[in-house]
Amino acid sequence: MGRARPLQTRSPNRRCSPGERLRALRLVLGLTLRDVHQASLTLSRRLRNSEFLLPPSRLHEFETRNVVPSIHRLYTLACIYRYEMTEFLDWYGVPQHKTAKRQLRT
């Protein structure tokens, strides 16, 4: 019989990456990678723009390899997950407040 391995836990001070958050949200919604792909296919056809299409392999890269999604694919995820786009932008460090305009002036 093998030796029991200790559970791997994250440091309590470590914040979740955007990819980890995306995966957690997808799982809470009960969606598979293929479910998200199918929904993105519907959206991209409706919008007549293939840039909104999200293949399962690409979503997996967003979730596990910290690949940053394009604005089109981020919009797709917001629609499918019924989440605010601004929340996703915040996860990726994009400022959403009015002071962003002021920062350009100075």
In this prediction, residue 95 carries a pLDDT of 84
Mean pLDDT value of segment 43-51 = 98
Burial 8-38, CB ≥16 within 10 A → b, else e: eeeeeeeeeebbbebbebbeeeebebeebbe
Neighbouring C-beta atoms of residue 48, cutoff 10 Å = 7
Q: What is the pLDDT of residues 69-79, one digit of tens each?
A: 999 999 999 99
Amino acid at 38: Q
Q: Which two tokens stand for residue 56?
A: 């399962």
Per CATH, the architecture of 18-92 is what? Answer: Orthogonal Bundle (1.10)
